[in-house]
């Protein structure tokens, strides 16, 4: 039971940025806080709230019953009709709408349950501007950071890069500029920064402006809860003094076999792939998934389909309905035969835990990176944007748990390159050995007495004290 002080119980308001890779890890943190007897109200924007409810299975809701302390609610996001799917536009619209929407929500909660007033607001790193809202409502403010500690560290270098003239106002550096935070952290080169989006400079500019604002806002934050673990990113964690690593949250709170709404899946999971995996040999299957946002040309998807087929190995491929630049991909006839299984959305954590998965062909989103490595799965890297290029460097150069799939001079990853790298990653036992070691490292960190375990406990104890 929660400790009460002055007739008040702790009550956390958790506010994620409305993208799959941000909502899911914050929900895992929220579940952990709720498990310790602290009430949490988890606020999504309306369209995301509806999407999560419609994607979860009715029979799975029972699984969430032990989560009475965790309430899901929603607020308007301030966007007009037709803008619902533009995740980038949200960066701006939320900045205008969220302070007012959340103030109204907190006022309603505080008035209706005076014993359970909101005592702490935990908001996504892209929404650190909510610190003023929290403070004006008498609540403590904490930032939640879904990406790596290195991705946070590099943001801090923006002012210096601008000042010395090695970066322009759009966030691009000239060829040859190399940015380093420490000898223990892989360096960044042109187009590898979290805000880089070389294929669309207009979007890059939005990311860069957002990153510059985050730098200012986060520097004022008392505490940054990070989905990483100290042993994985020691040098990067040491760079940000107010950073508290509590991850990998995928291990702290793994999805069960039939996740309910409180797992926050944006799409219905196709569980048939788990039965399909049951029929395959140990370590034999390539799991292919590019997360929730990456898109590709039909030509590139053809190369991938033929590369997988030519490898002669079994593969499970997540082909989202919008994977072909927003449209349904056309796949070669007979691709999903004996050896291939295609799903629109997988229970990814369950898949990566399955004994038959031998390799993860991934876009290297930070959640996917942590989900794979904490289960000891080697990687084939195919980054799309943002921090994924730097995560690839961690995977291939620092941790040595995978290989890059390189593109040619036209920006295409050919079927031959794909087939060759698949062969290499399966044939070299080094990757699996290194991945198994990291699996142990991360498990120890979240296990009783480990660094992430202790940090999370420290934070939860703190939440109890501030009411």
**Cβ neighbours around 227 below 10 Å, total:** 28
Instruction: State the burial class of residue 261 (Cβ atoms within 10 Å of its Cβ: 0-12, 13-18, 19+).
Output: buried
Return the number of the residue (133 or 292) whose C-beta is nearest ligand UDP: 292
- Out of 248, 291, 372, 383, name the contact with ligand UDP by CB under 6 A: 291
Task: Choose one: 208-216, 274-282, 286-294, 413-421; the region binding ligand UDP (CB under 6 A).
Answer: 286-294
> Does 119 engage in binding with ligand UDP (CB under 6 A)?
no
CB nearer to ligand UDP: pick between 321 and 466:
321
Residue 246 and residue 252 in contact, taking contact as beta carbons nearer than 8 Å:
yes
Going by DSSP bridges, is the β-strand pair 315-318/340-343 parallel, antiparallel, or unpaired?
Answer: parallel
**What whole-number distance in Å separates Cα of residue 77 and Cα of residue 4?**
33
Q: Is the CB of 9 or the CB of 267 nearer to ligand UDP? A: 267
Angle at 166 between CA 195 and CA 363, to 5 degrees: 25
In the complex, minimum distance from the CB of residue 145 to ligand UDP, in angstroms, rounded to a whole number: 12
Gap between the Cα atoms of 340 and 191, Å rounded? 34
Q: Is 289 in the site for ligand UDP (CB under 6 A)?
A: yes
Could you tell me which stretch among 8-16, 19-27, 94-102, 170-178 binds ligand UDP (CB under 6 A)?
19-27
- CA-to-CA distance for 228 and 232, rounded, in angstroms? 7
The least distance separating ligand UDP from the CB of residue 289, rounded to whole angstroms, comes to 5
How far from 295 is each of 47, 163, 196, CA to CA, in Å?
21, 35, 16
Q: How far is the CB of 49 from ligand UDP (least distance, A)?
A: 17
CB–CB of 146/366 below 8 Å? yes
By CB under 6 A, residue 345 contacts ligand UDP:
yes
Nearer to ligand UDP, 131 or 369 (CB): 369
The whole-angstrom separation of Cα 357 and Cα 425 is 13
Binding residues with ligand UDP: total (CB under 6 A): 19
**Min separation Cβ 112 and ligand UDP, Å:** 33
Which region among 83-91, 109-117, 123-131, 288-296 touches ligand UDP (by CB under 6 A)? 288-296
Among 438, 363, 392, smallest CA distance to 20 is for: 363
**Closest to 125 in 3D by CA, of 206, 210, 195, 45:** 210
Q: Least CB distance from residue 269 to ligand UDP, whole Å?
A: 7
Distance in Å, CB of 324 to ligand UDP, minimum: 16
What x-and-dash track marks residues 223-262 binding ligand UDP by CB under 6 A? ----------------------------------------
What DSSP designation does 79 have? P
- Within residues 355-414, the interface with ligand UDP by CB under 6 A covers 365-368, 371
For ligand UDP, which residue of 101, 145, 211, 348 counts as binding (CB under 6 A)? 348
43/121 Cα distance (integer angstroms): 11
Strands (E), 300-398: 315-318, 340-343, 357-362, 379-381
Residues in the site for ligand UDP, rule: CB under 6 A? 19-21, 24, 265, 289, 291-293, 318, 345-346, 348-349, 365-368, 371
């Amino acid at each position: 039971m929660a400790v009460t002080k002055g007739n008040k119980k702790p009550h956390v308001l958790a506010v994620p940025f409305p993208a799959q890779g941000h909502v899911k890890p914050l929900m895992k943190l929220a579940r952990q806080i709720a498990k310790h007897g602290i009430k949490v109200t988890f606020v999504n924007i309306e369209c995301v709230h509806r999407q999560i409810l419609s994607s979860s299975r009715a029979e799975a809701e029972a699984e969430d019953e032990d989560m009475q302390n965790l309430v899901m609610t929603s607020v308007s996001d301030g966007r007009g009709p037709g803008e619902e799917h533009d995740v980038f536009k949200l960066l701006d619209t939320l900045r205008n709408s969220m302070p007012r929407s959340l103030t109204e929500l907190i006022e309603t909660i505080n008035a209706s349950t005076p014993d359970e007033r909101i005592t702490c607001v935990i908001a996504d790193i892209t929404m650190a501007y909510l610190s003023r809202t929290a403070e004006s409502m008498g609540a403590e403010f904490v930032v939640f950071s879904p990406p790596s500690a290195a991705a946070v560290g590099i943001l801090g270098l923006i002012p210096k890069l601008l000042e010395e003239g090695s970066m322009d106002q759009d966030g691009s550096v000239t060829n040859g500029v190399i940015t380093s935070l420490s000898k223990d952290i892989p360096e960044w080169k042109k187009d590898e920064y979290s805000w880089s989006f070389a294929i669309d400079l207009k979007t890059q500019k939005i990311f860069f402006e957002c990153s510059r604002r985050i730098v200012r806002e986060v520097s004022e934050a008392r505490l940054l809860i990070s989905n990483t673990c100290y042993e994985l990113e020691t040098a990067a964690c040491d760079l940000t003094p107010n950073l508290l690593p509590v991850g990998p949250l995928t291990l702290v709170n793994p999805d069960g076999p039939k996740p309910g709404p409180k797992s926050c899946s944006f799409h219905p999971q196709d569980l048939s792939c788990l039965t399909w995996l049951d029929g395959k040999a140990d370590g034999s299957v390539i799991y292919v998934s590019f997360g929730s946002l990456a898109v590709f040309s039909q030509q590139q998807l053809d190369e991938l389909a033929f590369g997988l087929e030519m490898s002669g190995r079994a593969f499970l491929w997540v082909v989202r309905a919008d994977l072909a630049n927003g449209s349904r991909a056309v796949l070669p006839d007979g691709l999903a035969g004996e050896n291939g299984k295609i799903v629109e959305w997988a229970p990814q954590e369950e898949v990566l835990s399955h004994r038959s998965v031998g390799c993860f062909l991934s876009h290297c989103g930070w959640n996917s990176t942590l989900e794979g490595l904490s289960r000891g799965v080697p990687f084939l890297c195919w980054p799309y944007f943002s921090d994924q290029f730097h995560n690839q460097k961690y995977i291939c150069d620092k941790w040595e748990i995978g290989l890059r799939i390189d593109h040619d001079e036209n920006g295409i990853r050919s079927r031959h390159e794909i087939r060759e790298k698949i062969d290499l990653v399966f044939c070299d036992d080094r990757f699996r050995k290194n991945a198994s070691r990291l699996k142990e490292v991360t498990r120890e960190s979240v296990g009783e007495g480990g660094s992430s375990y202790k940090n999370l406990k420290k934070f939860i104890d703190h939440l109890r004290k501030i009411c």
